[in-house]
Structure 1
Amino acid sequence: MFTYCADPSALAGLKWLSCYLTTGKHMAFYWSFGTVLTLLAITAPTALLFGFGGATAARSRILPLRWFGKSYIAIVRAVPDIVFFLFFVIALDQTFEYLRHRAFCPDWVLPVRQGNDFVVCAAAKLPQNNAPQWVHEMYGFFTAVLTFAIVFGAFAANVLFGAMRSVPKAQLETAQAYGMTPRQSFWRILVPQMWVYALPGLSNLWMVLIKATPLLFLLGVEDIVYWARELGGTKNPRFTDYPHGDWRIWYFLVLLVFYLAFTKVSEFVLERIMKRLTHGQATLGGTS
């Protein structure tokens, strides 16, 4: 990064530190903070979409659809997150490859499941072995986002389902009495009002989602926890230009500050949203 970094062995003090903190691996560490924020920015609305679909299905008048919605909520919420992440990513990846295998290699005669091995033709592999590194990274990030969205979508569905049931039925009945169809009363009466009841639960879910981002490491994504452990570990002079002892405590301290600051900002934003949603609404203590 700096011209004086050409010979690290001749550096000391702040110059050594400035060169050490601007190495390629440290740049990847800084970039990984953006990876976490991007994951949250994509996963949150996607999980909310899954949750809205699950909650709508759970209250559907169509019995199979209602069973599907309630089963989705119950099954995903009952399985520990770490178990779901470890299992589901493998199952999801194999499902994609199996579908591609059936489409691209119809003449394949060998069984796909061979003991403990899952064998598909080369054309079905995701991503392809000759694909650039960024394709492998984007595919891993995509599976991570989808897994997070499905898991937290089930929790969001449970929150939204409860919020929908909290809207007074008298309002829906009044809407129907004025000639609104069930679809119109759902979108014009139920959905706008349910957010007031749902926001406290969704706020807690957002905080849990923030704390769950270190699970990216389990999904093969080089996140901030991966790089903190990688950079903070003891470095031998034989293998690096910037040897040092066990500095993991300092790197994880940086992560601590990051997560605390991010959750504090989130609390402030969520509080402002809640005040906006409840402005002028009657409460037990009067109007807010």
Structure 2
Amino acid sequence: MSSEGCIVGNKSSEKAVECFCNHLSTFASGFLVAPNTIDFAELEVDPTKNPVIFITLSIIAVLYTLLAVWARHADRKDLTRVGCIPMDSNDPLDKYLYEVRVTTGSRSGAGTKSKVCLVVSGEWDETCVRPLNGYGQEILKRGQTDSFLMAVPRPMGPLQYVRVWHDNSGPSEHGSWFLNYIIIVDLQTKIKYPFVANRWLAVEEEDGEIDKVFPVSGDSDLLNFSHLFTERTKKDLADDHLWISIFTRPVCSRFTRLQRVSCCLLLLMLSMITSAMFYEKDETSLTGLQWVLYSQCSAE
């Protein structure tokens, strides 16, 4: 882009541009909004003369401080949930390891405090009953993914199904459980076996069953629109949305809650200063302060 050979005519205004060029190449013109100059030395610093600014900034500072303290505490708590929880039923002599990732749904009342057990079956072998225990940690909460380390004496071959049930012993509001899906990873071969459930294990929901068998999911299950839409929406809100993810951040994310809170504060401050730069008190004046007329010509 070049303005060589072109000048702006005297009849140019905020609605039209008069451009004189000594060549016939392609050219264009347009308008740019000029930011206002903010002179901080001239701003009112007396709270009695301009209390709105001080009240607004004070509220923002207090909210940020409270959120930062909470976020730091939550980040430290999240560190205790990173990694796999060894299953109580593991035999110290068993050396073949599987990682069992259990994801609870995000809908209301999805979490449970009932005792949950499972049995994993493969082509060559199957496990005994494996209870899921958190060793003092809160597991199977709403929208949470819990990882458990399962040890077996030998490989079970390609996994075929997993049987999951609970005893409905939790409190009334935490007795039921909405199981989203289970992913079992063979830690030796790194092969993942997904088991999509997306259903209630509850006596008062759906078919009333709390004991279900889920076969390994194929491509048709994983590429199902409902499953893809739900998982994508959940990830976009829980991890990618800057404001919402402060409270729903996955524990495996490297972007901490405190960092997210600080980024929200920075975004808010930048938005405020940007609004001040492009705000014009005299709306009838479009020359000088608000608009800058420019002409750019490009020779091909």
TM-score (norm: length of structure 2): 0.27
Higher relative CO (Cα under 8 Å, sequence separation at least 6) belongs to: 2
Structure with greater Cα Rg: 2
TM-score (norm: length of structure 1): 0.28
